[in-house]
Homo-oligomer: A and B are copies of this chain.
Amino acid sequence: MFVLVNLKAYAADPVEIATVAHDVADESGVRIAVAPQTAHLERVAETGVETWAQHVSPVEHGSHTGSALAEAVADAGVVGTLINHSEKRLKLADVDGAVNAAERAGLETVVCANNPDQVGAAAALGPDAVAVEPPELIGGDVSVSQADPDIVEDAVAAAEAVDDSVDVLCGAGVSTGEDLDAAGDLGAEGVLLASGVAKADDPRAALTSLVEPLS
């Protein structure tokens, strides 16, 4: 299972979370990555943790002020990127463009989607993985794998029907080891989580407990 911790625009110290994530990944053997603000990518990558971007723009080198150029993100030590997160929805043509931009820069790609139909659509664009996150569960206390297990199974089936080389992650409300276990049982290859770690009183304890069933 792949655990991707999205720091969004939270007030949490990105270097502290990154250090914790690096330690817990080392100790547990579980693959854990951290996705901070773009301006924090370099300092997060310097902790040694696997570092992801929250977004890249569907552009090449050129006149694109205010974009997140995939090559610039890669320069900062990043190895993968979220695309089309529900808080950063892109036009269909731009999801395609961002996947291509990320691949051009050697970044792994996870395209987010709200539901199984959109998972199928995202899979058709050829990313490494898609992530299903029902918007109504994001930021809540109930995990998608508990609240709506069907959506995870349907997402896995939708991606497989289009391109069986595309992995499926799930997210929204994930915070415990049970959530992680349940996600794996439903066919997910990983989870996205955010507030469960980034807003935890003790991020180390939260992350350690999360990956405990996998260790």
Contacts and interface: CB of A to CB of B under 8 A. Distances in A.
A162 B162 CA distance: 6
Contact of A65 (B61, B82, B124): B82
B124 A63 contact: no
A148 to B, nearest CB: 17
Residue with the greatest number of chain B CB neighbours at <10 A, chosen from A84, A117, A195: A117
Contact of A42 (B43, B94, B114): B43
A96 interface: yes
Contacts of A34: none
Interface in A111-135: 113-115, 117-118, 120-126
B125 A64 contact: no
15 contacts: A8-B63, A9-B63, A38-B38, A39-B39, A39-B75, A54-B66, A55-B65, A63-B194, A67-B87, A89-B93, A90-B92, A92-B113, A117-B126, A118-B125, A121-B121
Query: What are the 4 closest A-B residue pairs judged by CB atoms, nearest first?
Result: A66-B88, A55-B66, A120-B124, A37-B72
Given A9-B57, A39-B78, A121-B122, 11 more contacts: A8-B62, A9-B61, A9-B64, A11-B61, A38-B39, A39-B42, A54-B65, A63-B195, A66-B88, A95-B121, A117-B126
